[in-house]
Structure 1
Amino acid sequence: MDAATRRWRTALFLFMLAAGVGMASWVARTPAVRDGLDVSTGSMGLVLFGLSVGSMAGVTSSGPLVRRYGGRAAIGVGASLIVTGLLVVAAGTGLSLAAGVFGGLALFGGGMGLAEVAFNIEGAAVEGVIGRPVLPVLHGCFSLGTVVGALLGMGLTAAAFPVGWHLTVIAVLIAAAAVRAVLAIPHGTGKEEAAETAGPGGLRGQLAVWRDRRLILIGVIVLAMAFAEGAANDWLPLLMVDGYEVSPTAGSLTFLVFASSMTLGRFAGGPLLERFGRARTVRISALFAALGLAVVIVAPSPAMAGAATVLWGLGASLGFPVTVSVAGDHPHDAAARVGAVSTAGYLAFLVGPPGLGFLADHIGLRLAMTVVLAFLIVAATLTGALGSGRSAAEEPAPVTP
Structure 2
Amino acid sequence: MAETAAALPPVRRLSGALYGVFVLIGIATSTWVTRTPALRDALGASTEQMGLVLFGFSVGSMLGILSANAVTARLQARRTILLGTCLVLGGLALMAAGAALASLWCAFAGFLCFGLGIGWSDIAMNVECAALERLYQRTLMTTLHGCFSLGTLLGAALGMLMAYLQAPLLLHWLGVAALALLGVLPLVRHIHNHSAAPAPAASHAHADTEPAPGPVLSALRERRVLLIGLFILGMALAEGAANDWLPLLMVDGHGFAEAQGTVIYLLFTLGMVVGRFSGHRLLQHFARVRLMQASALAAALGVALAIFSPLPWLGAASVLFWGLGAALGFPLALSAAGEGPAADSARRVGAVASLGYVAFLVGPPMLGFLGEHWGLRLGMLPVLAMALVATVLAMVLQAWAARRTATGGAAQQTA
Partner of 1:305: 315
| Structure 1 residue 86: Cα displacement | 1.0
Partner of 1:359: 370
Q: 2:395, 2:168 → 1: CA distance?
A: 48
Mark the CA change 1:58 to 1:64 in structure 2 (over 3 Å): closer, same or farther. Answer: same
Partner of 1:118: 124
CA deviation vs aligned residue, 1:137-162 (integer Å, no higher than 9, x gap): 00000001010011100110010001
- Taking the TM superposition and a 5 Å limit, the aligned residue runs for 1:191-340 are 192=198, 204-332=214-342, 333-340=344-351
| Structure 1 residue 260: Cα displacement | 0.4
Q: 1:145, 1:357 → 2: CA distance?
A: 26
Partner SS state of residue 287, structure 2:
helix
Mark the CA change 1:99 to 1:396 in structure 2 (over 3 Å): closer, same or farther. Answer: farther
Given that residues 58 and 357 in structure 2 are in contact (C-alpha distance below 8 angstroms), is that contact kept between their aligned partners in structure 1? no
Q: Which amino acid aligns with 1:229?
A: E
Mark the CA change 1:305 to 1:266 in structure 2 (over 3 Å): closer, same or farther. Answer: same
CA deviation vs aligned residue, 1:307-329 (integer Å, no higher than 9, x gap): 11111110111000000000112
Aligned mate of 2:386, from 375, 380, 395: 375
Q: 1:205, 1:214 → 2: CA distance?
A: 18
- Number of aligned residues: 392
Q: Which amino acid aligns with 1:366?
A: R
- Taking the TM superposition and a 5 Å limit, the aligned residue runs for 1:2-401 are 2-187=8-193, 189-190=195-196, 192=198, 204-332=214-342, 333-384=344-395, 386-387=397-398
Mark the CA change 1:30 to 1:271 in structure 2 (over 3 Å): closer, same or farther. Answer: same
Mark the CA change 1:341 to 1:193 in structure 2 (over 3 Å): closer, same or farther. Answer: farther
Q: 2:359, 2:199 → 1: CA distance?
A: 26
Q: 2:125, 2:196 → 1: CA distance?
A: 10
Q: Which amino acid aligns with 1:264?
A: V
Q: 2:354, 2:406 → 1: CA distance?
A: 24
RMSD: 2.2
| Structure 1 residue 129: Cα displacement | 2.0
Q: 2:407, 2:130 → 1: CA distance?
A: 20
Given that residues 232 and 333 in structure 2 are in contact (C-alpha distance below 8 angstroms), is that contact kept between their aligned partners in structure 1? yes
| Structure 1 residue 73: Cα displacement | 2.0
Given that residues 25 and 153 in structure 1 are in contact (C-alpha distance below 8 angstroms), is that contact kept between their aligned partners in structure 2? yes
Q: Which amino acid aligns with 2:21?
A: F
CA deviation vs aligned residue, 1:26-80 (integer Å, no higher than 9, x gap): 1000000000001100011011111111111111110111223311121121012
Given that residues 55 and 111 in structure 1 are in contact (C-alpha distance below 8 angstroms), is that contact kept between their aligned partners in structure 2? yes
| Structure 1 residue 387: Cα displacement | 4.9
Q: 2:229, 2:358 → 1: CA distance?
A: 11
Q: 2:57, 2:124 → 1: CA distance?
A: 18
| Structure 1 residue 180: Cα displacement | 1.8
| Structure 1 residue 199: Cα displacement | 6.3
| Structure 1 residue 200: Cα displacement | 5.6
Q: 1:64, 1:380 → 2: CA distance?
A: 32
Q: 1:184, 1:352 → 2: CA distance?
A: 35
Q: 2:384, 2:311 → 1: CA distance?
A: 20
| Structure 1 residue 271: Cα displacement | 2.2
- Normalised by the size of structure 1, how large is the TM-score? 0.93
Q: Which amino acid aligns with 2:278?
A: A
Q: Which amino acid aligns with 1:214?
A: R
- Normalised by the size of structure 2, how large is the TM-score? 0.90
Point out where structure 1 has 5 or more consecutive residues left out of the alignment.
none
Given that residues 226 and 320 in structure 1 are in contact (C-alpha distance below 8 angstroms), is that contact kept between their aligned partners in structure 2? yes
Structure number with bigger Rg: 2
Q: 2:406, 2:119 → 1: CA distance?
A: 31
Given that residues 261 and 310 in structure 1 are in contact (C-alpha distance below 8 angstroms), is that contact kept between their aligned partners in structure 2? yes
Mark the CA change 1:249 to 1:270 in structure 2 (over 3 Å): closer, same or farther. Answer: same
Q: 1:394, 1:337 → 2: CA distance?
A: 22
Moved more, 153-162 or 66-75: 66-75
Moved more, 232-241 or 183-192: 183-192
Q: 1:396, 1:37 → 2: CA distance?
A: 59
Q: 1:311, 1:4 → 2: CA distance?
A: 36
